[in-house]
C-alpha cells in the first residue's frame, strides 16, 4: 500500500469515527397550535446542539377544547406533516426519535383511535404526555441552560409554562422545586371560551382577567402564603417566537421592560399584531390571552424580574434523551425535586414528619439489601420513597378510610416528573399497605395495571407494609436496622432500647405476604441496647 493510499484510508477512517461519535436524534411535538420538530446532535464531548428546527402551523385545539373531537382533515394534515418529518429525519441520518403530544390529545374523547391511525399511516408512534411529564420535560429544557438556571433559582422563582390548552406554574424555594400546579387556562382555550363575549366588550384584557381571577386567587391563598417570589421564568414557543423574540437568551427583563411589552401588545388589534409580527391572524389572536395570563400571575408574585430563556418542550425531550444515553450529566438533581414536591404534598395533608423519615429509612434499608432478589432499580427506589411519604395522607380526609382516601388524593394530585402510571403504582401500593392485596386479574377490585406494573405494586407494598409496621406507634423505637441477605434468607437485625412488642407483633403479620412476593424467608433478630 502506497503512502497516499494509507493517508486516504486514514482520512476515511477518521471521518467514519467522527460520524460514529455523533448521535443524531429528533424530537417531535404535536401541540394545540403547531407541529414542530428539532434535529439534535449528541456527542460525549460536546453534549448536544440543535441542527434544524422545522415548524408547521396547525390549529388543532379548535374543536378539541370545546367538544373533544378532531376533524378528519386535521388528522390527514398531521399524517402528511409527520411523513414529511420522516423524510427530513432520513436525510439527517436520524436513528432515534421521540414524538409527543400534550393537552390537545389528553382532552380528546378518542386519543387512542387517532394515535393508531397516525401510526398506521406514518409508522410514527405518538406518546401522549401526562401534564406532569410534559412540564417536567419543559423544566429540564430550562435546566439545560445550566449557568442561567442555577443563578436565577437561588432566589424564590416561579416558572410559567403557557401552552395552548393549559398553564403550568412551578415554584422554587432555595434551589428546590416545591410545588407545581396546572390550570386549564391556556391561551387557545381561553380564546375559544371567550370568542363570542369578546365581540361585546372593548376591554378584552379585563374580560380575561375576570375569567381567570377565581383560580388566581385560590392559588395565591394556597401556595403563596409566606413565600417570596423574586423571579419569573416564562416558557412556551409562542412567547419566544412572537412577543419576546428580541429578549430570549440570557437577557433578564425588568418589570418596567415587561410592562412596556404588555402595553404595546394588549391594546392593539389582532390585525395590527399580525402585521407587526409577520404572523397569521389566527396565531395573533393568542397574543392577548397569553400576555394577560402572564401579567396577572407576575402581579400576584410581586416579582422583580422576568426571564424568557427561549427553550421549548423539544429541548426538554432532547435533554432527557441525552441524560438517559449518558451524553449529558446534569448538574441539577431532578430526583430531589420530585421528592421535595412529594414531601410538600405530605405536609399539605398533615402527615407526620418524624414517622415518614423513620419509615423511609427502614424501607430503603430493606430495599437496598435485596437488590439481588427484587430486580428493581433507582426509579423504583424513588417510587418507594414517595409511597412512604404519602401513605398516611388520606387521614386528612377520613381516619376510617385512610387507604382509599390516600389512593384518591395521589391520583388526583399532579407530581411533576411522574407519569400517570407511576402515580397509579404509588397510589396502589399505598392502598394495599393497609387493605387486602387484590391479585392480578381481579379487575373489578384491582388497580387495573398491566402485569409488569402489577408486580411492581406487589413488591413496593410488601416493603412498605414491613417498614410501616416497624413504626406503628410513630415513636421511632427502631433506632437502628441492619438487613443482610444470605442465600434465600433476609435477616433483619433490629436495634432498640425501648419496648417494641407492638412493632414485632405487627411485623409478624406482614411476613407471609413479604415472603410470598419475594420467595425468601424473613428472619427477625433483636439486639437490645443497654
For residues 110 and 194, membership in a common domain is answered with no
Residue 471 pLDDT exceeds 80: no
Would 11 be classed as within a structural domain? no
Instruction: Lowest mean pLDDT of 22-26, 277-281, 354-358, 503-507, name the range.
Output: 503-507
For residues 52 and 162, membership in a common domain is answered with no
pLDDT at 111: 92
Residue 365 pLDDT grade (very low, low, confident, very high; cuts 50, 70, 90): very high
Residue 148 pLDDT exceeds 80: no
Residue 180 pLDDT exceeds 90: no
Would 77 be classed as within a structural domain? yes
Residue 163 pLDDT grade (very low, low, confident, very high; cuts 50, 70, 90): confident
For residues 162 and 119, membership in a common domain is answered with no
For residues 300 and 320, membership in a common domain is answered with no
Quick one: three-class SS letters along 153-195? Answer: CCCCEEEEEECCCCEEEEEEECCEEEEEEEECCCHHHHHHHCH
108: domain CATH number is 3.30.420.40
Would 271 be classed as within a structural domain? yes
451: domain CATH number is 1.10.3210.10
Q: Note whether 286 and 274 are within 8 A (CB).
A: no
Best-predicted range by mean pLDDT (45-54, 220-229, 296-305): 296-305
Residue 185 pLDDT grade (very low, low, confident, very high; cuts 50, 70, 90): confident
Rounded alpha-carbon distances, angstroms, from residue 169 to 113, 247, 305, 365, 457: 31, 21, 16, 35, 30
Please list the residues that pair with 52 across neighbouring strands: 39
Would 4 be classed as within a structural domain? no
Would 66 be classed as within a structural domain? yes
The H or E element that residue 102 is part of is: none
**Domain carrying residue 357:** 350-528
Which residues, at least 6 apart from 7, have a Cβ–Cβ distance to it below 8 Å? none
Q: For 290-303, what is each residue's pLDDT tens digit?
A: 999 999 999 999 99
For residues 384 and 524, membership in a common domain is answered with yes
Residue 18 pLDDT exceeds 60: no
Residue that terminates a domain, selected from 280, 298, 332: 332
For residues 283 and 355, membership in a common domain is answered with no
**Number of domains comprising the chain:** 3
For residues 396 and 521, membership in a common domain is answered with yes
Q: For 72-109, what is each residue's pLDDT tens digit?
A: 999 999 999 999 999 999 999 999 999 999 989 998 99
Would 337 be classed as within a structural domain? no
Q: What DSSP line would sit under 282-347, residue for residue?
A: HHHTTHHHHHHHHHHHHHHHT-SEEE-----HHHHHHHHHHHHTTS---SS-HHHHHHHHHHHHHH
For residues 359 and 452, membership in a common domain is answered with yes
Residue 11 pLDDT exceeds 50: no
Does 181 or 445 have the greater pLDDT score?
181
For residues 292 and 271, membership in a common domain is answered with yes
Burial of 46: CB neighbours in 10 Å, binned 0-12, 13-18, 19+: exposed
For residues 318 and 306, membership in a common domain is answered with no
Residue 15 pLDDT grade (very low, low, confident, very high; cuts 50, 70, 90): very low
Would 358 be classed as within a structural domain? yes
Would 421 be classed as within a structural domain? yes
Residue that terminates a domain, selected from 310, 340, 365: 310
For residues 359 and 506, membership in a common domain is answered with yes
261: domain CATH number is 3.30.420.150
Q: What is the mean pLDDT of residues 272-278?
A: 86
For residues 327 and 296, membership in a common domain is answered with no
Amino acid at each position: 500500500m502506497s503512502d497516499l493510499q494509507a493517508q486516504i484510508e486514514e482520512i476515511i477512517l477518521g471521518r467514519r469515527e467522527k460520524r460514529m461519535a455523533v448521535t443524531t436524534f429528533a424530537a417531535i411535538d404535536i401541540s394545540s397550535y403547531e407541529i414542530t420538530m428539532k434535529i439534535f446532535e449528541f456527542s460525549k464531548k460536546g453534549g448536544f446542539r440543535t441542527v434544524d428546527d422545522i415548524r408547521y402551523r396547525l390549529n388543532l385545539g379548535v374543536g378539541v377544547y370545546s367538544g373533544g373531537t378532531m376533524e378528519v382533515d386535521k388528522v390527514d394534515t398531521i399524517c402528511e406533516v409527520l411523513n414529511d418529518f420522516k423524510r427530513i429525519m432520513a436525510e439527517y441520518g436520524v436513528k432515534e426519535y421521540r414524538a409527543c403530544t400534550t393537552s390537545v390529545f389528553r382532552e380528546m374523547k378518542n386519543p387512542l383511535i387517532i394515535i393508531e391511525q397516525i401510526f398506521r399511516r406514518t409508522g410514527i408512534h405518538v406518546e401522549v404526555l401526562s401534564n406532569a411529564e410534559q412540564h417536567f420535560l419543559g423544566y429540564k429544557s430550562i435546566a439545560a441552560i445550566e449557568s442561567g438556571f442555577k443563578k436565577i433559582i437561588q432566589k424564590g422563582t416561579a416558572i410559567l409554562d403557557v401552552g395552548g390548552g393549559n398553564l403550568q406554574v412551578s415554584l422554587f424555594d432555595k434551589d428546590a422545586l416545591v410545588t407545581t400546579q396546572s390550570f386549564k387556562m391556556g391561551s387557545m382555550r381561553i380564546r375559544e371560551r371567550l370568542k363570542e363575549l369578546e365581540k361585546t366588550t372593548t376591554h378584552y384584557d379585563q374580560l380575561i382577567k375576570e375569567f381567570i381571577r377565581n383560580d388566581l386567587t385560590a392559588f395565591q391563598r394556597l401556595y403563596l402564603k409566606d413565600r417570596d417570589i423574586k423571579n419569573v421564568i416564562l416558557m412556551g414557543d409562542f412567547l419566544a417566537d412572537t412577543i419576546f423574540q428580541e429578549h430570549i437568551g440570557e437577557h433578564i427583563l425588568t418589570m418596567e421592560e415587561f410592562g412596556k411589552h404588555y402595553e404595546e401588545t394588549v391594546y392593539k388589534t389582532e390585525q395590527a399584531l399580525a402585521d407587526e409580527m409577520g404572523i397569521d391572524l389566527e396565531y395573533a389572536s393568542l397574543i392577548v390571552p397569553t400576555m394577560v395570563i402572564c401579567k396577572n400571575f407576575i402581579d400576584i408574585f410581586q416579582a422583580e424580574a422576568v426571564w424568557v430563556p427561549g427553550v421549548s418542550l423539544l429541548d426538554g425531550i432532547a435533554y432527557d434523551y441525552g441524560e438517559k444515553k449518558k451524553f449529558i450529566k446534569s448538574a441539577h438533581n431532578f430526583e430531589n425535586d420530585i421528592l421535595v414536591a412529594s414531601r410538600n404534598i405530605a405536609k399539605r395533608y398533615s402527615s407526620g414528619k418524624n414517622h415518614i423519615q423513620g419509615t423511609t429509612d427502614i424501607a430503603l434499608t430493606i430495599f437496598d439489601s435485596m437488590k439481588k432478589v427484587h430486580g428493581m432499580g433507582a426509579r423504583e427506589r424513588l417510587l418507594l420513597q414517595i409511597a412512604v411519604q404519602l401513605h398516611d395522607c388520606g387521614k386528612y380526609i377520613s381516619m376510617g378510610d385512610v387507604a382509599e382516601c390516600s389512593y384518591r388524593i395521589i391520583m388526583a394530585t399532579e407530581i411533576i416528573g411522574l407519569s400517570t402510571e407511576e402515580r397509579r403504582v404509588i397510589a396502589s401500593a399505598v392502598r394495599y399497605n393497609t387493605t387486602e392485596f387484590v391479585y392480578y386479574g381481579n379487575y373489578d377490585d384491582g388497580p387495573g395495571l398491566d402485569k409488569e406494573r402489577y408486580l411492581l405494586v406487589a413488591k413496593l407494598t410488601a416493603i412498605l407494609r414491613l417498614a410501616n409496621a416497624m413504626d406503628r406507634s410513630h415513636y421511632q423505637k427502631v433506632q437502628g436496622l441492619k438487613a443482610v441477605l444470605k442465600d434465600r434468607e433476609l435477616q433483619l437485625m433490629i436495634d432498640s432500647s425501648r419496648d417494641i412488642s407492638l412493632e414485632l407483633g405487627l411485623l409478624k403479620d406482614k411476613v407471609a405476604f413479604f415472603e410470598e412476593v419475594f420467595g425468601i424467608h424473613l428472619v427477625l433478630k433483636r439486639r437490645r441496647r443497654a
